Amino acid sequence: MNSHGQNEQQVVWTVVGTDIGPLLLAATGEGLVNVVFHATDEVRHKALDRLGSRLGAEPVEAPGSPLLAEAIRQVEAYFAGARHDFELPLDWSLISGFNRQVLRELSSGVPYGTVVGYGDLAGRVGQPGAAQAVGIAMGANPLPVVVPCHRVVESDGGIGGFGGGLETKRKLLALEGVLPEPLF
């Protein structure tokens, strides 16, 4: 508790090197709260400022924090091909409503090595006409890779969009065996 008798939210972060570039991982006492692609200095500073203002706590770099240890281990194992499912506590406080509902369904219902269409995912949450809204939810995903928005594709076979960039989406889908590895 702070001097005003309120519980202070602790937010810790680190950057992990991966095959798709540096990922920023941030966690609270509730669990992993944010994953940010391409965590260069500029991207990292913007993400941490935004995270601090949204959560009301200054994020602290703490690569050795117990709050991050398991997330780091599982992310590294995923990129090494040794892990297909993330089993982490997640802090969903950065997302709510329909977006949270869609992301929870994605997280639990679309396994490694498979894909789902935007419209199919909308139907799974009882909103069959909401394919565009599902796309917006994917773009708002605060936990990419761990909550696998890269597994959502267009119904006509197109790859769809991706906040981390299409090349990143292709690499993640290739890692999971959905797409062939790039030739060069």
> CA 35, CA 73: separation in Å to the nearest integer?
14
Burial of 52 (0-12, 13-18, 19+ CB in 10 A): middle
Name the CA dihedral angle for 171, 173, 176, 178, rounded to a multiple of 10 degrees.
Answer: -130
> CA 172, CA 79: separation in Å to the nearest integer?
9
The count of C-alpha atoms lying within 13 angstroms of the C-alpha of 109, restricted to the half-sphere facing its C-beta, is 15
Give 13's strand partners.
Answer: 26, 61
Active-site residue among 149, 152, 153, 175?
149
Query: Annotated catalytic, 149?
Result: yes
Q: Which residues are catalytic?
A: 149
